[in-house]
Structure 1
């Protein structure tokens, strides 16, 4: 190779993407820009961004957060197919430091998702950094027009707040594992803002403000809903095939799902006077109740 010759710049984009994605670290991916003039810009159309902590030598939390920001800022692509932000490996370091993830910082990452990501988004966040006197941190979820799959894995004291306006037009798979949500906001998100939702998993420590939830969807086929106390639950889903409900107390429920084939009813005492199943039973193949349930 002659002096000054840059063979890396001659590699096809697909090969460069393959190498960068498998580095497994945003920090290492950004550092590769010193290798080649063209390599410096290859982060732009990167199809996947995988940002996580280093389990062997976790840096101080501010450095971790800064590196996430740096990696996202270095990506000038209009489209990113997949974005993973995973603090599962570095949560021990964050806990030891006595600090958490600032909600404003996490909100910036979600805005990046809403503007760029088109296929999959996964985020695991340890406990948030909360102001004195507050027990929870509110994380605003912006409308993501093109994202098809969202997994929000947030530790208990996070509260998810859906956008007041906007649609998740392409979203088919949604998992939310967090501390709390307002029942009315959850209803609006599912019924009005996710027109193509197929698979929905919701794990909540609690519902707040409103303990009533209505899930009406013409596209939904599987639903897992877990919350400590549910005052009123309505499910109207003509295509729903799998349903799992887990709660210490479901005061009232009305479920209309004529295609329901699998039902799991956990923890809450079933009372046919308060818990009604309309048009359910003919297709039911699997029933896992915590006590006897009659769907007649």
Structure 2
């Protein structure tokens, strides 16, 4: 009796489920029962797919019906957002670093496969966005030894933090270079790469010392390590108009010559540039490399060996410039004839030279004890009021 009752209940449930399904004309195909918008134009469906938050969602729509199969390969914008359980370890137990390393390798392989399949369609990729987040990281913070000259990473945290980063960083660097190469090769107009890696160890207060930034040696001998992102030999990004690189404090070695012929908007965040990079960074964001650059943002850029180095930015068409914590640098010279908005925060430059005759908006804040000796060639129509403390 019990088994009969159970069978009857299952049959009733199936009947109720069938009753809830939408009815279709008897002459409709199999796809009509599951795909009620298949009659829409391709442009409309592609627009719908382009609004999905993650490219994996677009790929899965191919299972809906024959109408959707392969349609995602023509979407103009691809966004890759990490998901729980796919991008890294979920605990801090032993082996978590290895788990994170394997996770980013899986993530990189998935993205490379999707981009390669998308490129076979013959349609240009207009926008590519890639975000990688290690589990448990909610917010990136500026290391205290950059914003506070009297703080250095606590030695109690060095062994584990350094060991974890040494294991994770090479995989991140390899993946990042591959993604950048793919973006440049496929001629995207907009490229976003955001690596959200574990933050630096918490600081420890020490007695006052001269601001020589000797504690940057914490990162080791960059010439002997393999976790440096190299941009040499990459395809020429002729169509690139917007570029956002946030590399999670990974080391970046800038090329001596590079050309972004169409780049108009550039954002650089959380990047540790190798020794001697001040000159190359200045050249990268100047008209020599980016003749059409209009908006530039640099935030949490760490220049190894920047003491006694000067960075010159000569940008003929730049209109907006935001600089937030670009250290360590002794001198910064700006030659920006069309600059209208300039925001600089947490400055630690001894010499700051600004030539901006069309400047309309100005905001500058300096770190304690790092006010420059002078401000030269500040030519603008901005009304400035100097107040003595």
What TM-score does the superposition give when structure 2 sets the normalisation length?
Answer: 0.63
Residue 277 (1) aligns with residue 377 (2):
yes
**Partner Cα distance (1:14, 1:222) in 2:** 35
From 127, 131, 140, give the equivalent of 1:82.
127
In the alignment, is the contact (CA less than 8 A) between 2:187 and 2:239 conserved in 1? yes
Bigger proportion of residues as helix: 2
Q: Deviations over 1:58-86 (max 9, x none)?
A: 45413322221222122124421211112
Residue in 1 that maps onto 2:334:
235
Residue in 1 that maps onto 2:344:
245
Distance 1:241 1:174, change over 3 A: same
Distance 1:275 1:36, change over 3 A: same
Distance 1:219 1:59, change over 3 A: closer
Q: Which moved more, 1:20-29 or 1:33-42?
A: 33-42
Distance 1:164 1:16, change over 3 A: farther
In the alignment, is the contact (CA less than 8 A) between 1:26 and 1:67 conserved in 2? no
**Partner Cα distance (1:134, 1:155) in 2:** 17
Residue in 2 that maps onto 1:154:
247
Q: CA deviation at 1:284?
A: 0.8
SS at match of 2:334: strand
Q: Which moved more, 1:193-202 or 1:252-261?
A: 252-261
Residue 64 (1) aligns with residue 107 (2):
yes
Residue correspondence of structure 1 range 117-196 to structure 2 within 5 A: 117-127=187-197, 134=225, 137-140=228-231, 142=234, 143-156=236-249, 158-181=250-273, 182-191=277-286, 192-196=288-292
Q: Deviations over 1:15-49 (max 9, x none)?
A: 22133223322223223334455644323321110
**Partner Cα distance (1:207, 1:140) in 2:** 17
SS at match of 2:53: coil
**Partner Cα distance (1:215, 1:74) in 2:** 40
Bigger radius of gyration among the two: 2
Residue correspondence of structure 1 range 251-262 to structure 2 within 5 A: 251-262=350-361
Residue in 1 that maps onto 2:179:
109
SS at match of 1:253: strand
SS at match of 1:171: coil
**Partner Cα distance (1:166, 1:135) in 2:** 22
Structure 2 gaps, min length 5 = 1-26, 89-102, 138-160, 199-218
Bigger proportion of residues as strand: 1
What TM-score does the superposition give when structure 1 sets the normalisation length?
Answer: 0.80
**Partner Cα distance (2:60, 2:245) in 1:** 28
Distance 1:222 1:292, change over 3 A: farther
Residue in 2 that maps onto 1:218:
316
Structure 1 gaps, min length 5 = none
**Partner Cα distance (2:185, 2:77) in 1:** 15
**Partner Cα distance (1:12, 1:243) in 2:** 46
